[in-house]
Amino acid sequence: MGNIRITKQFNFETGHALYGYDGKCRNVHGHSYKLSVTVIGRPITDTNHVKLGMVIDFGDLKKIVKEDIVDVFDHATVFNKNTPHVELAKELIDRGHNVILADYQPTSENMVIDFAAKIKSRLPENISLFALKLQETDTSFAEWYASDN
């Protein structure tokens, strides 16, 4: 039996600002992100295994992505911690807001790299991360493929 790709989609709302950017995205704003997570592996062939025929239980994949990404980033605001936005972040945190201070400029490109590392570290040995697609608008998205990395 060959390899099969399994994809699960997620939605979350996140705000951010791009410090030093020369367009509107330098202002604090938000997106309704859509994240597609594709893993690859061989379906379980052990007839005594409760997950016979599955590459990975969709529920198990959902648990990983929700815990490490969706539950963390949903309704949070992300700032690059190496910019003056840390002053704004501190003010928001002091007022009870959920703020993430990232080691990177919070573009879709950098977020998808971060998400790939987080997901890869949690997958079972026999499952590989194949691709991620992070869509920030209906017409704009960033993709990560294992084959490119």
In the residue annotation, 97 being an active-site residue is answered as: no
Cα-to-chain-centroid distance, residue 128: 16
Q: Distances in Å between the alpha carbon of 120 and those of 6, 15, 34, 106?
A: 14, 25, 19, 20
Q: Are strands 76-80 and 99-102 parallel, antiparallel or unpaired?
A: parallel
In the residue annotation, 25 being an active-site residue is answered as: yes
Q: Which of 13, 29, 49, 75 is catalytic?
A: 75
Q: Are 62 and 70 in contact (CB under 8 A)?
A: no
Q: Are 14 and 75 in contact (CB under 8 A)?
A: yes
In the residue annotation, 136 being an active-site residue is answered as: yes
Instruction: Indicate which residues carry an active-site annotation.
Output: 25, 75, 136
